[in-house]
Amino acid sequence: MDIRCQRLMLLFALAISFCLPASAQSQASATAGDTPTQLPASLDQRFIDTSADPCTNFFQYACGNFSKYYPIPSDRSSYGTGTLLFEHNEDVLRNILGTATSGGGNRTANEQKIGDYYSACMDSAAIDRKGLQPFQPDLDRIAALKDKSELTPLLAHFQLTNVNAFFGLGEQQDFKDARKQIGVTDQGGLGLPERDYYFRSGATAETTRKQYVQHIVNTLKLIGESPSQAESDAQAIFQLETSLAKVSMDITSRRDPKNVYHLMEVSDLQKLTPSLNWQLLLSDAEFPQITQINVTNPDFFKGLNSLIASTDLNTIKAYLRWQVMASAESTTLPKALDEEKFDFFGRKLRGQPEQQARWKRCVQATDNALGEALGQVYVAKEFPPSSKEATLQMVHDIESAMNEDLDSLDWMSPETKTLAKAKLHAIADKIGYPDHWRDYSKLIVKPGDAYGNAQRAATFENLRQINKIGKPVDRGEWGMSPPTVNAYYDPSMNDINFPAGILQPPFYNPKGTDAENYGHAGGIVGHELTHGFDDEGRLFDGNGNLKDWWTPEDAKKFEEKAECVVNEYDNFVPVDDLHVNGKLTLGENTADNGGLRLAFLAFLADAKRKDIDLDKPQDGFTPIQQFFLGHAQNWCGTTRPQQVRLQVQTDPHSPREFRANGVVQNMPEFGKAFHCKVGQPMMPAKVCRVW
């Protein structure tokens, strides 16, 4: 499973990420050999808006001047402190790739692969000269379909090359026996961000649907269809996707792992969708012989069968042509198709005026395809052993804080506390990079073959995942590349993972104060740790199994406390009249709140050990004020309204302002530190607390 928001969408529960709004499109800045982007201080006083009252809006106080120094560039939909680190890492990676590209015959095998992958991606002239030639074999196979019975081998091929046609297929740990790796098939096939985009009412939603249909029309014309045929096919494709959306599960329901776990015999899946030959499909997708598979949403596959049966073959062929082009990496597309894709998904959907520089996109594409080959060099340059040791100590401190905090809970029974501690003590801490690097020797990367390289990289990764089925779980495996500016918790692995990419200034700064580092990186560590005990994570035991280890009374108390958080965040309005979805964001909000509290407790213990005077100001702020400012400055930045709307409707993370304010208003310690009065916005009389 690829953790970077990937192809099998059910695996939301297996990778609960911190998700700093830092990746995607970024500002073109340095050239090869330039000094990487300058990073802000751990506590950057330039960002503080002293005209704002911290007790009224702490985010505005801590970050109000950020955009004066870092306005959103025209090729970004958002820009924040996470972006600054992301761009710094991107510059480092570009220099690494520049060296690998020009290394000649002395390159290692991995250097050859990352260098050739990047240089082929950068050769837009060659991509334009080839035009649709690289796509023609798939388009020809679609054109040759004479009967729906011929769909099965074609869909198997598409599963290996990441073409999002009808459904997804892959591997996961068995939710109920985490020692096992099993096959999984999931709903899929949609082109809009998620199923409710097809049904929401209102002018904005209707405009988006019309723009999407026009995007399909434009794409089909660019691959050779006449204007009238493209119009007709686009309408038919949209109706087909709408029918798929009707039988798809909504994103909020999918947050409950019980809703997406239905282990069944392959023969029973065959009965659900007799339109497809599942034994042939699995065989052609190079699955090992299996008798059982997790069917995440049986109702979807039942509906899919009816849809395939009732849809004419020409419409299915038009849909498949569209999916081939829509699923392609944008950097492999000829210029007109690349710009058309950006126009809808970047400009219209995210409000981003300009496409990002190609070198930025090619750095990201290389990291996606060869993340550990590239990451191995990145780690050697950017993550010394001293940083790993210091951050590991911070993790241990925060885990100790949670162990002690569990003892203090007055709502949890001793029985459940014992099992909670057992799970806590079983959590594996992964810091920086894997102990064993991934073997890319079987991945063929050819100079000048951008589309072929992307196809082979997708197939390589999908087969790597599929080949794990039936084999022992590799608990040392990572789901993010080392340069990634993010972190995650995996409930089936029961581990927390912090890539070297996020353990850099300003989030972790060896020169920063303990207060700043605990507010920044400590909050991130606590966030991932708390995910093991949020509304999803708490459903898994210490072995990574989906198992109820709570007493009924404790579970009820947890749900009551969680409902307080749901209602609190439901009331936040980030854009227009659109409210945050408290149920969709519950896990992340729980982790934000619980994580910062754990970091605060760990910082207090650290300060006591080191005899730090918590009342003595340094650079104008006491250590506790520095701690909370560090937390808030994780989220400094601005976001375009279109991107905010997209995030609220699709993302389990709350917008940046509420990740800062929503947490501190639930911590009376914050109000005390900034001399707030009960009843002020950041110090309400009623607070929510789960952990």
Q: Where are the domains of the chain?
A: 133-333
**364-415 tens-digit pLDDT:** 999 999 999 999 999 999 999 999 999 999 999 999 999 999 999 999 999 9
Average pLDDT value for residue range 466-473: 96
Whether 80 contacts 20, CB under 8 Å: yes
Amino acid 443: pLDDT: 98
Whether 77 contacts 25, CB under 8 Å: yes
Whether 526 contacts 57, CB under 8 Å: no
Q: How sure is the predictor about 20, in pLDDT bands with cuts at 50, 70 and 90? A: low
CA distance 372 to 445: 15
Amino acid 22: pLDDT: 44
Average pLDDT value for residue range 204-224: 98
Question: How are beta strands 78-80 and 637-639 bridged, if at all?
Answer: antiparallel
Q: Is residue 297 over pLDDT 50? A: yes
Q: How sure is the predictor about 21, in pLDDT bands with cuts at 50, 70 and 90? A: low
Q: Is residue 15 over pLDDT 70? A: no
CA dihedral 479, 484, 486, 488 (to 10 degrees): 10
Look at 482 and 2; give whichever has higher pLDDT.
482
DSSP annotation string for 554-578: HHHHHHHHHHHHHHHHHT---BTTB
Q: Is residue 30 over pLDDT 90? A: no
Amino acid 29: pLDDT: 36
- Residue 186 three-state SS: strand
Please tell me which residue in 592, 606, 651, 657 is annotated as part of the active site: 592
CA distance 224 to 666: 57
Amino acid 298: pLDDT: 98
DSSP annotation string for 295-340: ES-HHHHHHHHHHHHHS-HHHHHHHHHHHHHHHS-GGGS-HHHHHH
Backbone angles phi, psi at 618, to 5 degrees: -135, 120
- Residue 254 three-state SS: helix
Which of these, 480, 380, 443, lies nearest to 112 by C-alpha position?
Answer: 443
Q: Which helix (H) or strand (E) element contains residue 600?
A: helix 586-610
Q: Is residue 651 over pLDDT 90? A: yes
Sheet containing 428-432, strands listed edge to edge, beginning at the edge strand earlier in sequence: 16-17, 488-490, 495-499, 428-432
**90 labelled catalytic:** no
The residues near 531 (Cβ < 8 Å, ≥ 6 apart) are 16, 489, 491, 496, 537, 587, 591
CA distance 399 to 598: 8
Which of these, 450, 456, 447, lies nearest to 358 by C-alpha position?
Answer: 450
Query: Around 63, how many Cα atoms within 13 Å sit in the side-chain half-sphere?
Result: 26
Q: How sure is the predictor about 104, in pLDDT bands with cuts at 50, 70 and 90? A: confident
- Amino acid 485 reads V
CA distance 561 to 557: 6
Which conformational region is residue 24 in: left (phi greater than 0), alpha (psi within -120 to 50 degrees), or beta?
left
Q: How sure is the predictor about 106, in pLDDT bands with cuts at 50, 70 and 90? A: confident
Average pLDDT value for residue range 201-222: 98
Amino acid 2: pLDDT: 31
**553 labelled catalytic:** no
Amino acid 7: pLDDT: 35
What is the number of residues in the chain? 691
Q: Is residue 36 over pLDDT 90? A: no
What residues are paired with 169 via a beta bridge?
Answer: 185
Which conformational region is residue 107 in: left (phi greater than 0), alpha (psi within -120 to 50 degrees), or beta?
beta
Please tell me what DSSP assigns to residue 521.
I
Q: Is residue 18 over pLDDT 80? A: no
Whether 186 contacts 22, CB under 8 Å: no
Q: Is residue 603 over pLDDT 90? A: yes
CA distance 379 to 221: 45
Tokens of 146: 């004479």
Q: Which long-range contacts (CB under 8 A, 24 or more apart) does 622-627 make?
A: 622/673, 623/513, 623/514, 623/515, 624/515, 624/669, 624/673, 625/673, 625/674, 626/43, 626/513, 626/515, 626/516, 626/519, 627/515, 627/516, 627/518, 627/519, 627/599, 627/600, 627/603
Average pLDDT value for residue range 11-38: 49
Please tell me which residue in 367, 514, 528, 606 is annotated as part of the active site: 528
CATH topology of domain 133-333: Neutral endopeptidase; domain 2 (1.10.1380)
**494-508 tens-digit pLDDT:** 999 999 999 999 999
Look at 315 and 14; give whichever has higher pLDDT.
315
Average pLDDT value for residue range 548-553: 98
What residues are paired with 497 via a beta bridge?
Answer: 430, 488
CA distance 35 to 355: 23
Q: How sure is the predictor about 464, in pLDDT bands with cuts at 50, 70 and 90? A: very high
Which range, of 29-38, 296-305, 451-460, 639-648, averages the lowest pLDDT? 29-38
Question: How are beta strands 177-187 and 78-80 bridged, if at all?
Answer: unpaired
Average pLDDT value for residue range 13-20: 62
Q: What is the Cα 76 distance to its own chain's centre?
A: 18
